[in-house]
Chains A and B, each alone.
Chain A
Amino acid sequence: MTSTQVIFLITALVTIFSAVMVVGSRKLFHSALWLILSFLGVASSFALLEASFFAIVQLLVYIGAIAILIIFAIMLTRDIMEDEWQQINRSWGLVLILVITIFSVLLGLYSTWSGFQTILNPLGISGQENILAFGKSILAPDGFALPFEASSVLLLAAMIGGIYIAMDRKQEGDEA
């Protein structure tokens, strides 16, 4: 058991625990806070995988933007009664069995693969090589230039669609 493994196990446990709390919390705002903690855990596992850029983007996009957007939406749709409601469907036992089945089937499939037990060693990349290769590939016409432009269109659609849906023309000006 090396120290890296211990660090990984701690982050994984924290992440899994907070993910459980996201699903299990009664208050929505608490769910959102647990969600942020699990995003942080995922970011640190990205860092352990030496994908620094994505660890930071995880912080920037998920915690800095998506989590805040979710919290804003929670505040916009908050209801006085929310905490008294039954938060989970009554048939959750069935779903639990289904989910455990899916999980064990996944594990079974993984374990038949020969590379499953590979030890991941440090890559020894501390400079910009990864990001540079990534940057070049998304702009190379024989690389990923098309997905790159398509994602811009996706974002455009999300922006216009989101704003169009969220803005309500009839009730303008009813600010609290």
Chain B
Amino acid sequence: MIPLSWYLIFAALLFAIGLFGVITRKNSVAILMSVELMLNAVNINFLAFWHYHTQNSGLPQVNAMVFVAIVFIAAAAEAAVGLALIISVYRQRKTVVVPELDTLKG
């Protein structure tokens, strides 16, 4: 009923928006949120292809599902450690704005 192409375009668009956010946003929490958007886009792609292959073979395919589950786990781990880092940096520098975190600059 819905063409595969729609899902792929949708996912690509979401991925592009997320990428734009990752590069341009200054606040590190916002960067993390954009990364979550990109991971979501990846999951849409995985599940769209899962549907495609299940439809073609007639049997439940598991590979894509495992990938999606791993993406979920990776997203959770990334959010946990990333936000902890942000909190820790904030405590020491009183800022979470990336351009101001320039200690490594010469």
Contact = CB atoms under 8 A, between A and B. Distances in A.
- In the complex, A touching B, CB below 8 Å? yes
Residue among B17, B54, B66, B86 having the largest count of chain A Cβ atoms under 10 Å: B17
Given A61-B76, A87-B25, A166 B88 contact: yes
Contacts of A163: 84
B24 interface: yes
Contact of B1 (A42, A119, A171): A119
Given A22-B34, A154-B74, A159-B80, A12 B86 contact: no
B81 A161 contact: yes
A2 interface: yes
Contact of B33 (A35, A95, A130): A35
Interface in A33-54: 35, 38-39, 42, 45-46, 48-51, 53-54
Contact of B84 (A65, A99, A116, A161): A161
A69 B79 contact: yes
Contact of B8 (A22, A57, A110, A154): A110
A79 interface: yes
Contact of A130 (B1, B29, B65): B65
A54 B81 CA distance: 23
Contact of A16 (B13, B25, B29): B13
A16 B18 CA distance: 10
Given A100-B16, A166-B84, A125 B95 contact: no
A82 to B, nearest CB: 7
Given A23-B34, A77-B29, A117-B5, A158 B76 contact: yes
A8 B77 contact: no
Contacts of B85: 165
Contacts of A171: 91
Given A102-B16, A151-B73, A120 B91 contact: no
B68 A22 contact: no
Contacts of B21: 22-23
Interface of A: 2, 4-5, 8, 12, 15-16, 19-20, 22-23, 28, 31-32, 35, 38-39, 42, 45-46, 48-51, 53-54, 57-58, 61-62, 65-66, 69-70, 72-74, 76-77, 79, 82, 85-89, 91-92, 95-96, 98-100, 102-103, 106-107, 110, 115-123, 125, 129-130, 133-134, 137-138, 143-144, 147, 151, 154-155, 157-159, 161-163, 165-166, 168, 171
8 contacts: A8-B6, A15-B14, A16-B17, A62-B40, A87-B27, A89-B99, A134-B69, A138-B69
